Every structure is written in C-alpha cells, then in structure tokens.
Amino acid sequence: MEYCYDCGTKLTIKFLEHEGDIPFCPKCNKFVFPIFSTAVSMVIVNKDKTKTLFVKQYGTGKNRLVAGYVNKGESAEECLYRELMEEMGVKPLEIKPQKTLYFEKSNTLLINYLVTLESEDVFPNFEIDEYNWYSVDDGTDAIKEASMAKQFYEYFMKNNR
Ligand SMILES: [Zn+2]
C-alpha cells in the first residue's frame, strides 16, 4: 500500500501507540490500515466424519473447497450459511472454525470452517461442475493441487477427526 484510498496522496509512516509504525496520510491526517477481501472456505464432512466433499468449478477439473467472498456487512458465519445454501443447496448440521490463511494473489484473508452435513444428499447450483464424496483418508490426495485447500484439509485431519 502506497497511496491513500481516499485522496491518493502518497502515504508516510507514523508511529501509533500500541500498534507500531502504520501508514499515514498527511493530507487526510489519518492512519490508513490495509484493505483486503475476506472469504470463507469449508472442509465439508458427512455426519460421522468418514467422508469429505470436494467440488469442481470453472472448468478446471480440479477438486476445491466450497468457498465464497464475505459481503460487506455480513458476518463470516452468515456468509458460510449463504454460500453453502447457494452452491450446495443445504444447511450445515454443525460448523466449527478451523484456521485462517492469507492468500496474496487475490489479497484475501481466507477463513476456513469444518462443516458437518446431516445427509450426503446435496443440491448443487450451476456454479458447481461436479462434486464427489471421498473417504477422508483419500482427501489429502484428492485436494493436493489446491495448495490453500490442502493446508486447511490437513489441519482438519490433524485436529478434528
Ligand atoms: Zn488521504
């Protein structure tokens, strides 16, 4: 970040108590904290946590996690319920926060949840090319081409089985 989002003035660095050196706009006379997007992604499992659900999207043919951007004014949990209903046509039985990762390429903070579904029956919308349930032990291999998703999946395998 180099310029003020409001006025375009080149930012300087100013010390802010309890925060440290923070970018500062001398024209607006205010600190400028970084702006980034927030998205929710989901490791989805069936009720007894023996199977996991991955989807394929955008014609890539690669497994990925169900995910979506958080709207302004929306909580991460609201986003999860909305995206899961939109894309998979179901409500979660249970949700549990796992971990977060920053994705530099899209300047997005990803918040991952473990999502348990009551039933393995899902009703995907047009955004989903294909979906598959895998045994959880096969999950790591099935998601290996998506690096962030793999890190979230491995976290699940280590901590939430
Ligand atoms: Zn400014």
Residue 32 alpha carbon to ligand 1 centre in Å: 8
What are 90-138's pLDDT values in tens digits?
A: 999 999 999 999 999 999 999 999 999 999 999 999 999 999 999 999 9
Residue 17 alpha carbon to ligand 1 centre in Å: 20
Residue 8 alpha carbon to ligand 1 centre in Å: 6
In the predicted model, what is the mean pLDDT of residues 34-63?
95
Per-domain residue ranges for the chain?
Answer: 1-35, 37-159
Class of domain 37-159: alpha beta
Is the pLDDT score of 161 beyond 90? no
Q: Which long-range contacts (CB under 8 A, 24 or more apart) does 123-128 make?
A: 123/88, 123/89, 123/90, 124/55, 124/87, 124/88, 124/89, 125/86, 125/87, 125/88, 125/89, 127/57, 127/86, 127/87, 128/55, 128/56, 128/57, 128/87, 128/88
pLDDT for the residue 160: 79
Residue 105 alpha carbon to ligand 1 centre in Å: 26
Residue 16 alpha carbon to ligand 1 centre in Å: 17
Distance of alpha carbon 100 from alpha carbon 119, whole angstroms: 27
Average model confidence (pLDDT) across the chain: 95
